[in-house]
Amino acid sequence: MPDLKKTPKYKQIEHTGDIGIKVFGESVEDLFINAAYGMFDIIADISNVEHDLVEEIEVAGGNHEELLVNWLSELNFIFITENEIFSKFKITHLTDTELNGSAIGEKYNLHKHPINTEIKAVTYHEICVKQLKNKWEAQIIFDI
């Protein structure tokens, strides 16, 4: 896990009509974890999410960008269809084309986790994942 005093997990960026985030990680695994955290932090108040359930996630993609979109899309799909909200994430296997991980959280409760922003989709618009020296950075735009 990155030292949050030195490297933030993510920051919101301006984007006309949508919401974007720039994500940071000490490793590519951290990057994917921080992107998931950032997405759920935008969706709702996740400060008091309990860790009562675990969803195993497996996604594939042609490259890191596609893999990131597929990872976040799967998490958002579970939130929308299964009413589960997450605040902790683990990556157990990550290559350029495959990701196995888990999302840890609880059943969504409107009174406990008020919605900030509904994310309709994770987009490919302006997506990028890159390694800069010993750190990783990504940009993701969400359709709201």
Query: What is the share, in percent, of the chain residues with pLDDT greater than 70?
Result: 95
CA distance from start to end of the chain: 29
Q: Pick the more confident residue, 97 or 7.
A: 97
Q: Are 21 and 12 in contact (CB under 8 A)?
A: yes
The pLDDT confidence band at residue 8, using thresholds 50, 70 and 90, is confident
Q: What pLDDT score does 6 carry?
A: 56
Using one digit for the tens of pLDDT, what is the confidence trace for 47-60? 999 999 999 999 99
> Is residue 21 exposed (0-12), middle (13-18) or buried (19+ Cβ within 10 Å)?
buried
* Complete domains list, the chain, with CATH: 10-143 (3.55.10.10)
Nearest to 98 by CA among 134, 140, 66, 123: 66
Average pLDDT, the chain: 93
Q: What pLDDT score does 16 carry?
A: 79
Average of per-residue pLDDT across 102-131 = 94
Residue 42 vs residues 59, 64, 99: alpha-carbon distances, Å: 22, 22, 23
Q: What pLDDT score does 3 carry?
A: 44
**pLDDT for residue 106 is more than 70:** yes
Q: What pLDDT score does 14 carry?
A: 80
Average of per-residue pLDDT across 56-73 = 98
Q: What pLDDT score does 22 carry?
A: 97
The pLDDT confidence band at residue 7, using thresholds 50, 70 and 90, is low
